[in-house]
Amino acid sequence: MGHTLFEKIWQAHLVRDEGGDDDDGAPAVIYADLHLLHDVTSPQAFAELDRRGIGVRRPDLCLATIDHSSPTLPPDAEGNRPYVSQAARLQAEALARSCERHGIEFHGWDSRHRGIVHVIGPEMGATQPGMTIVCGDSHTSTHGAFGTLAFGIGTTEVGHVLASQCLLQRKPATLGIAVEGQLSPGVTAKDVILHIIGTIGVDGGTGHVIEYFGSAIRALDMESRMTLCNMSIESGARAGIIAPDEVTFAYLKGRPKAPTGEAWEQAVARWRMLTTDPDARFDRVVEIDAQEIEPSVTWGTNPGMVIGIGERIPQRQDASAVDARSYMNLQSGHPLEGHHVDVVFIGSCTNSRISDLRAAAGIMRGHRVPQGTRVLVVPGSEQVRLQAEREGLHEVFKDSGAEWRESGCSMCLAMNGDMVLPGELVVSTSNRNFKGRQGRGARTILASPLTAAASAITGRVTDPRKFLGDSF
């Protein structure tokens, strides 16, 4: 029997297989090709290494940046960044110091590659097919878009990887998700993944690595594939993965960390073999009809509470649904469409890349954000920001009345001071609508950049297809 793509990568990174019953029964020891680090989940790991007097085994396989608590407003006259607290500033400085001490490549305030860790990895070409990539961050699944096995780990494991470049892991099960057919106009990768999570549930992927395949997946560009894999974790999946193809290779070619010359040719030849064999078996398979997917939005307090934008809020009477409707202050049987929106956030590692900003600007161009709605656009990285500014997208956003910021996680998790006020309703291109995620008492509707942009210029939850004529 053949092997799935996941199994091939797993097998190629086994330092030691799981111990059998007669052995110590230990989990497999898996080698990490790339370890991404950011401000929030690494300080305690470095401290533990220091406490034990252990060094970093492979600083050359680490890449670090600051993103979670980074202020998105410019520095003051003295060049001081407006950190929300001294603690946040110290945390970022601690990472910079640890990286310097251990010889780890670090992209801080002076780097043109600073940005959200899951945006800069691919952008720099550090994320490459066939790799194992780990990071103390659950949205590491993003990198699976390149045919990598990429997953989030906790801080103790960050320490393990720093010290040994390895992780103790049990082999996950596999879930194949086939998306066949053509997506309708106005339906994006974000709608596809929201639809999938709405279908399989927030624990539908638990214990599994998801491989996405099918004609609708093949038709997606790399940034869309990243959006899709990014939210795999919201179904509980360990990782999401898409087999690399010409689209992947074209994206990577010429990026700063991608191989060049003969090494590039050899790499592509190797990468072409990264497919799931036709006779391989997944533990489970789910089939999705691309044609059925509408622009999707969440109505509740987890990313599985999803409806098509034209649908009504479900009448479900289970405790979670009742509690979610009460927190969201929304009534069952009512439409979400047309509901007043206080804030629109366009950003996060899910949807802050250049194609996301182009899509949003395409809808917002020439329109004004109405009074009573605040719109924040936060590029995913400095590279994205610079590119958007070269294209004049920032002017489109600013002319419409939106705020154009510097890069970072920002309002996705609201720990940098960019936050939604209690009770406010936000249409957000981020990935989590948990209670309080975007600020205490914030009520989040997750949506695509198109839906967010359409909602921004109307001040109401709006079906982006109403504006397609303007932008397509």
Partner 1 sequence: MSNQSGLKAIECHTFNLSFDDIDTDQIFPAEFLATTEREGLGRYCFHYWRFDDRGDPISDGPLAGFDPGRHQVLVAGNNFGCGSSREHAPWALLDMGIRAVISRQFADIFYANALKNGLLPVTLEPAALEFLHSHPDQRVNIDIPSRTITIEEYGTLEFPLDPFSAHCLVEGIDQLEFLLHQEQHITRFERLSKTN
Binding to ligand SF4 (CB under 6 A): which residues in 61-80?
A: 67-68
For partner 1, give the closer residue by CB, 42 or 188: 42
Query: Is 263 one of the binding residues for partner 1 (CB under 8 A)?
Result: no
**364, containing H or E segment:** helix 354-364
For partner 1, give the closer residue by CB, 137 or 463: 137
- CA distance linking residue 247 with residue 158, whole number of Å: 31
Output 99-106 pairs: Cβ under 8 A, ≥24 positions apart.
99/37, 99/62, 99/64, 102/46, 102/55, 102/56, 102/59, 102/62, 102/162, 103/56, 103/59, 103/60, 104/37, 104/56, 104/59, 104/62, 104/63, 104/64, 105/62, 105/63, 105/64, 106/64, 106/65
What minimum distance in Å lies between the beta carbon of 365 and partner 1? 33
What angle separates helix 354-364 from helix 222-230, to the nearest 10 degrees? Answer: 100
Interactions with partner 1, residue window 85-124 (CB under 8 A): 85, 87-88, 90-91, 94
Query: Is 452 one of the binding residues for ligand SF4 (CB under 6 A)?
Result: no
What minimum distance in Å lies between the beta carbon of 224 and partner 1? 23
Place of tokens 């097919």: 129
The only residue of 376, 388, 412, 447 in contact with ligand SF4, by rule CB under 6 A = 412
What minimum distance in Å lies between the beta carbon of 359 and partner 1? 27
For partner 1, give the closer residue by CB, 104 or 364: 104
What minimum distance in Å lies between the beta carbon of 412 and ligand SF4? 3
Query: Is 69 one of the binding residues for partner 1 (CB under 8 A)?
Result: yes
Question: What does 349 interact with, of ligand SF4, partner 1, none (CB < 5 to 8 A by kind)?
Answer: ligand SF4
Interactions with partner 1, residue window 275-334 (CB under 8 A): 302, 319-320, 323
For partner 1, give the closer residue by CB, 40 or 293: 40
- CA distance linking residue 450 with residue 456, whole number of Å: 10
- Side chain identity at residue 330, one-letter code: L
Instruction: Give the range of 20-28, 366-374, 397-405, 406-414 binding ligand SF4 by CB under 6 A.
Output: 406-414
What minimum distance in Å lies between the beta carbon of 194 and partner 1? 16
What mask of x and - would describe binding to ligand SF4 in positions 102 to 131, judged by CB under 6 A? Answer: --------------x-x-------------
Query: Is 165 one of the binding residues for partner 1 (CB under 8 A)?
Result: yes
Question: What does 171 interact with, of partner 1, ligand SF4, none (CB < 5 to 8 A by kind)?
Answer: none
The only residue of 4, 6, 35, 41 in contact with partner 1, by rule CB under 8 A = 41
Q: How far apart are the first and last CA of the chain?
A: 45
> What six digits make up the tokens of 123?
């952008």
What minimum distance in Å lies between the beta carbon of 457 and partner 1? 29
Q: Are 121 and 67 in contact (CB under 8 A)?
A: no
- Side chain identity at residue 339, one-letter code: H
Give 376's strand partners.
345, 403
Interactions with partner 1, residue window 173-212 (CB under 8 A): 202-203, 206-207
Helix-then-strand count for the chain, H and E: 16, 19
| Cα separations in angstroms, 390 against 183, 352, 380, 386, 394 | 30, 16, 16, 6, 9
For partner 1, give the closer residue by CB, 160 or 385: 160
- 3-class SS at 441? coil
- Look at residues 122, 119, 141 and name the one whose alpha carbon lies nearest to residue 67: 119
Residues near ligand SF4 (CB under 6 A) are 67-68, 116, 118, 137, 139, 348-349, 409, 412-413, 430-431
